[in-house]
Amino acid sequence: MGLRDTLRNLVRRRTPTPANDQVYNMGIQERRMPQHYAGKYLYETAENSTVVRTCLVQLKTEIFRRGYEWIKSFDLKCNNCGHEHHKEVEMCSNCGSADLRRPDLNQKMYAYEFFEGYINSSHQLFIDVLKELETDLNVLDDAYLIL
């Protein structure tokens, strides 16, 4: 971990939590059911139980210990049939077309800038948001990310 990452960790913020327990409006006709309270109690158990918290931290550490890496999806792609080639070819092995294209460098640069910079108003990196989602997934078995 470099100096840059150490400084980021000092000023990193968490995603803001709603001030109101009522996250969404149930509607006039709907009764509040017991399962709507389950999330609050599951999070309290996860935070207060040493055994559960240790398991969740270890799981998250293992999943994110190597971060993420960029892997090339294809070398050439056929514009006619969409077949992806993983080596240099003259013609498409699927349809025989010579209309092949390389990956777009602008897409790679856009994704690189997105993943390397702050992605929300809480000044979080994408990996930090994924770590919070991993906690939601492990505690509640649900996680949502809107891009």
pLDDT tens by residue, 8-66: 666 666 666 666 655 555 556 666 665 566 777 888 888 899 999 999 999 999 999 98
Asked if 142 and 36 touch (Cβ cutoff 8 Å), the reply is: no
Distance CA 24, CA 117 (A): 30
Average pLDDT of the chain to the nearest whole number? 81
Q: What average pLDDT does range 60-89 have in this prediction?
A: 89
Give the H or E element holding residue 4.
Answer: helix 3-11
Q: What is the pLDDT of residue 26?
A: 55
In this prediction the pTM is 0.58
Please give the structure tokens belonging to residue 85: 């080639």
CB-CB neighbours of 3 under 10 Å: 7
**DSSP string for residues in 118-136:** B-STT--BHHHHHHHHHHH
Instruction: Give me the sign of the Cα torsion angle 131, 135, 138, 141.
Output: negative
Q: Is the predicted pLDDT of residue 136 greater than 70, yes or no? A: yes
Lowest mean pLDDT across 35-39, 101-105, 121-125, 139-143: 35-39
